[in-house]
Amino acid sequence: MNFRYLKLGLVAFLFAGTTNSCSTGSDPEDIIDDIFTVPATYCLNINNGINDIVMNVNAIVMNNLDTKKDVIDDEVPTGVTPTIYRTGEVIDSVVIDYGSEKTISSLGGKFKGKVVVDPVDEKLQKFEIRLQELEVNNFDVTGAFNFDIVGDLAGRDFSVSSSTIKFSFTDQESNVVPFPVSSFEADYKYIRSEEDDVDYVDDIYNLTSDIDITYPNGALMSLTSQSDLLYAYACKNVIGGTALFTLQDIGEGTVNYGGGDTVDHCDGDASVTSHGGTITISM
């Protein structure tokens, strides 16, 4: 979906009229559609964009920390160049370069720019992820993440946090529309590989996460997992589990990501249910 053409003014109008709308006996699906569709679409897609960024880091970088190569080329999509910079044998940083001339499709998402992964400790357990001129799924993304390997095996369990990430896009009037992420915390736990092989391209993860995003009109929206969510790397989507979407001063809805099947639920669709009505969000 191209977010540059969603109408931001819709929600500001509905914030003022929600109470009256709910008192008229309108169809519940019409009410939930009017109130939640636009902000929920942004929230779920921003959250999905973050998952795409950090899962690519885990897959491409963390699975290759022991390589002696200067350029990682194992299971890396065409057009993506992950380069390792060293002082002697010590890794200084790993740069995932998605290209700068055009937006390219990569592992189910559209990326442009660079992601820089800097080790924070000598044991290669803690990292800082810095974003340089990065574009993800039509959003410009700035800021940095903390990335911690959980346990001894890189490329498996990890946790991520940030309070500096900001998503934004430029609308048709050349205005920059910001979506600052005031808080993001997530734990990712490796479950299995679909083919029981050593490659990461079909890995399945459980994740729990909590994200707070400020909508352009100042309202806070959040998405908190209610159960362990199931993330399929091959789908580049959450394909199972539920989360709670909350819109400040308006209400909340339950997000259902599907039943966890890597074929039937790999489409990137999720439903949001509130007050008897349900809408579908595409990511």
Confidence class for position 104, pLDDT limits 50, 70, 90: low
The pLDDT of 246-251, averaged and rounded, is: 90
What does the pLDDT read at residue 199? 61
* pLDDT value of residue 77: 79
Q: What pLDDT score does 108 carry? A: 59
Instruction: Classify burial at 31, counting beta carbons within 10 Å of its beta carbon; exposed 0-12, middle 13-18, buried 19 or more.
Output: buried
Query: What is the rounded radius of gyration, in angstroms, for the C-alpha atoms of the chain?
Result: 19
Give the per-residue pLDDT at 245.
Answer: 96
Percent of the chain with pLDDT over 90: 59
- Check residue 21 and give its pLDDT: 41
**What's the pTM value of the predicted model, to 2 decimals?**
0.88
User: 97 vs 22, 70, 85, 88, 198, CA distance in Å?
Assistant: 49, 13, 13, 22, 24
**What pLDDT, in 10s, does the model give residues 128-173?**
999 999 999 889 999 999 999 998 889 899 999 999 999 999 988 9
The most confident of 7-16, 129-138, 261-270, by mean pLDDT: 129-138
pLDDT at 15: 43
Calculate the average pLDDT of the chain.
Answer: 85
The residue among 194 and 124 whose pLDDT is bigger is 124
* Confidence band for 78, pLDDT divided at 50, 70 and 90: confident
Higher pLDDT, 33 or 53: 53
pLDDT digits (tens, 9 = 90+) for 172-224: 899 999 999 999 999 999 998 766 555 666 788 999 999 999 999 899 999 99
| Lowest mean per-residue pLDDT among 81-95, 129-143, 248-262 | 248-262
Which residue did the predictor score with more confidence, 20 or 164?
164
Asked if 94 contacts 124 with a C-beta cutoff of 8 angstroms, the reply is: no
Task: Judge whether residue 6 has pLDDT over 70.
Answer: no
Residue tagged 């709308």 (tokens) = 21
Query: Dihedral angle at the C-alpha atoms of 52, 203, 116, 223, nearest 10 degrees?
Result: 40
